[in-house]
Structure 1
């Protein structure tokens, strides 16, 4: 796949007010096993709560069970990373089957979205021991195991989702960027460029795109680029040339070297994409076999240390992309569940999904909320809404943050997608905002403002109708903004794209919404000194 091909992504704009997290200790029991409830968000009509179980004992805790009541007017509407049942206002949360034992000193977080304003739970017990329901630990609790009144350092900050292994980065926000395997050819963009541009230090995660899914199995996308291509000393991350008898070469070996220079960096292997999503339909018929094949490939001994997990880029479950899928609304959830079961609780399992926020659109076709408990995060692809795939126009920004008067399709904007996913029960902290490091453009345009007619796609370096930011910033500088993104008319060509300034605004939105961070397609579109990724990291704080 080339993400420069159209990705049919695709709501209203209700903005939730993010409230600073207020930890409320409500459960101490089972010796030194502790539980804290943290208000992550409260927007009046609803709230998001994070619950952390900490094992302060010297033995592994193999299971845990939390029981509590919620005050009148507060109910749980959805939960993730724990199995939650209820009877009236009484709730029981137990450990997920995929979550391993809790080692001494370790913590595990799960969470829920609730209706009504946040209220601290009552009558809480963990593994049968009374919690007391207070906001301070009992005096009998050993000081070394008492959770602090702020977020424990072993758990992710309140603005991030509750993954088993949270990545270390400033503020807990994720900065995730795609590396396209084919970029090593015509684009001459290599893993070394991630280091020399300064981008490696700003990234938390790299998504390596793409592995294939043909036949409902994970398979290599391009063996030469992936692990066969020999790098010279000049092109290698660490200045050391590959040898002819080296067991691993190519981008995989370069990523290994990049991680050695940047120990904080995680790499996730992404499968599917526009071209290779057809294989997911067969994968959905036997998710366990698909997961087995993926695990065997990602954990191949030759490169198992390179990858920290798997990403699913299925375009689109129970809907149409390059081909149409009719596997039903539960197919995606079932595939993700199988992957989590096979990869275990410590691996990262993520997904890039549609950003179609229209009524009855692609988000509505699949139970994304049902899968969120087995995912570390979701990435709605909030770009490619509009472009010269509609050759006659009207001209429109391909990545609008919000709706605007005259938008060609309602629900085709970033905020619409975010709000729809949140309304379905996906926690904000498990959503990343998508940014395109490229523009989309038309030619034959006479009107400078959006909404003009066109005759076709504007010329592009690699493909008509699309161009990298690093090119457009010089050849067609932005002259206006609309709906939180930029546009420009140069001669008869009209382009829309994000700039450092508009990205800063989008990151403000992400922070205000309590999102887990941002991701982008893809690294080679940025300048040689990483202007755009710098704006993402700087904006997230």
Structure 2
């Protein structure tokens, strides 16, 4: 039966790849949306993507991605040392210019209208408001923390008083939209009201090492649950005044050890609308052996036992009490790459000299760039049983998700009863939103 099942999957993958790569970008219509209601389809939009990647909010519209998503997570909001949500323009602290000060030119504007200096709401926030006007079913979440800005989450969650103050500051800044006017330009009371529909917590990680300098305490595990409870309490209270429900979500790790160190399993899900689960970075160029970064299952010849995989991560959360329908699987729109690979064969599980050269960071490349390598000496290799793919030219190796792998993961989401898919990050897709289209096709509801 296994060879037949693989042949059937290969045929389905080929058909779906043809459909999504042949489709031109959909013309976005005011109020129009093709998204279904059955699954969450969440995409991270990066604040800094407007720079080197030249990915303004408008591209979500012109590519057809916006009409195929249910949520956009804006990455990221920062947490201060004294435990508050804040916006700053200081180096490494924030980018208010990108967020809401930058006058967006007409050619980058969702509605084709240029911003003028000093308007109440410019930048990405202003463009997200315009995007929501064209796609009224789309929800935008502010994601707090991330890898670089989780430094002081532990401070914010430490006491009842600190939790109350932290949550109140986040609601005031992002939901009530009271942006600081930092230099006489954009911002002011209520200027961002209505841009954000909810809050996503990207604390990486409670009681577990993350970025250098992160504050970590053993009590983070219990305090994370208490922080969620406080968010839910204040969000509901605010929602009663606006007659809206404000979603609360969280980004959760794939590592079972981190699950046990920082989370109270079943308890956290009573407060969350859903949680996104890290489905990538299982291996990378911090290691000196090529490997998979996002396989559906642990490959048969994997050198590490136990090892990480999508299945290990999802099963780990389910065994700890997570409701299947509240788990949303993370999908990478980038690859991890090594060069100086020796040992021959197809390049998998071979020694490497270091990170592969790339446009934005060594060893890290967007899908839209990796898809072009197949005509430049690279061969695509697949392990259909394990559910992963890689590129190899004899020297350089890239592990990544292409439409075939993404479709296989959508079938896994459906089969196991999960809540949907999340992507990091939308600026890694091509101009036709090929990977987002694949997710939408794979999770289509009747």
Band of TM-score, shorter chain? 0.7 to 0.9
> Aligned pair 1:339/2:231, yes or no?
yes
Q: By how many angstroms is 1:490 displaced?
A: 2.0
Q: By how many angstroms is 1:295 displaced?
A: 1.0
> Aligned pair 1:289/2:165, yes or no?
yes
**Between 271-280 and 214-223, the greater mean CA deviation after superposition:** 214-223
**C-alpha separation between the residues in 1 aligned to 2:366 and 2:151?**
27
**C-alpha separation between the residues in 2 aligned to 1:269 and 1:533?**
20
Q: Which of 407, 428, 431 in structure 2 is aligned with 1:525?
A: 428
Q: By how many angstroms is 1:405 displaced?
A: 2.3
Q: Which of 232, 236, 248 in structure 2 is aligned with 1:349?
A: 248
Q: Which of 191, 194, 197 in structure 1 is aligned with 2:63?
A: 197
TM-score (norm. length: structure 2): 0.81
Provide Cα deviations, 1:203-252, integer angstroms capped at 9, x if missing partner.
11100000001222111231000000101111100001112241110000
Provide Cα deviations, 1:121-173, integer angstroms capped at 9, x if missing partner.
xxxxxxxxxxxxxxxxxxxxxxxxxxxxxxxxxxxxxxxxxxxxxx9941511
Q: Which of 255, 264, 268 in structure 1 is aligned with 2:128?
A: 255
Q: Name the SS for the 1:179 alignment partner.
A: strand
Maintained 8 Å contact 2:255/2:308: yes
Q: Which of 481, 489, 494 in structure 1 is aligned with 2:392?
A: 489
Aligned to 1:232: 105
Q: How many residues were matched structurally?
A: 370
Aligned to 1:461: 359
Q: Which of 454, 471, 496 in structure 1 is aligned with 2:369?
A: 471
TM-score (norm. length: structure 1): 0.67
**C-alpha separation between the residues in 2 aligned to 1:426 and 1:233?**
45
Provide Cα deviations, 1:338-374, integer angstroms capped at 9, x if missing partner.
11111116101100111113xxx11111214211111
For residues 30-429 of structure 1, the aligned pairs below 5 Å read 169-215=35-81, 216-220=83-87, 221-285=94-158, 286-298=162-174, 299-300=176-177, 301-322=190-211, 323=214, 325-328=216-219, 329-344=221-236, 346-357=245-256, 361-365=257-261, 366-390=263-287, 392-393=288-289, 395-407=290-302, 408-429=304-325
Aligned to 1:164: none
Q: By how many angstroms is 1:478 displaced?
A: 5.3
Aligned to 1:118: none
Maintained 8 Å contact 1:217/1:279: no
**C-alpha separation between the residues in 2 aligned to 1:459 and 1:377?**
37
**C-alpha separation between the residues in 2 aligned to 1:478 and 1:315?**
35
Structure 2 residues not aligned, in runs of 5+: 1-32, 88-93, 178-189, 240-244
When residues 251 and 409 of structure 1 are mapped into structure 2, their CA distance, relative to the original with a 3 A threshold, is farther
When residues 409 and 334 of structure 1 are mapped into structure 2, their CA distance, relative to the original with a 3 A threshold, is farther
Q: By how many angstroms is 1:491 displaced?
A: 4.0
- Which has more strand, going by share of residues? 1
**C-alpha separation between the residues in 2 aligned to 1:256 and 1:327?**
40
**C-alpha separation between the residues in 2 aligned to 1:265 and 1:421?**
27
Aligned to 1:22: none
Maintained 8 Å contact 1:356/1:411: no
**C-alpha separation between the residues in 2 aligned to 1:175 and 1:501?**
18
**C-alpha separation between the residues in 2 aligned to 1:229 and 1:409?**
49
Q: Name the SS for the 2:249 alignment partner.
A: strand
When residues 381 and 198 of structure 1 are mapped into structure 2, their CA distance, relative to the original with a 3 A threshold, is same
Maintained 8 Å contact 1:333/1:368: no
Larger radius of gyration: 1
When residues 170 and 415 of structure 1 are mapped into structure 2, their CA distance, relative to the original with a 3 A threshold, is same
Structure 1 residues not aligned, in runs of 5+: 1-166
Q: By how many angstroms is 1:437 displaced?
A: 0.2
**C-alpha separation between the residues in 2 aligned to 1:467 and 1:491?**
18
The runs of at least 4 aligned residues of structure 1 exceeding 4 Å deviation read: none
Q: By how many angstroms is 1:396 displaced?
A: 0.7
**C-alpha separation between the residues in 2 aligned to 1:310 and 1:290?**
13
**C-alpha separation between the residues in 1 aligned to 2:131 and 2:317?**
34
**In angstroms, what is the RMSD of aligned CA positions?**
1.5
**Between 516-525 and 415-424, the greater mean CA deviation after superposition:** 415-424
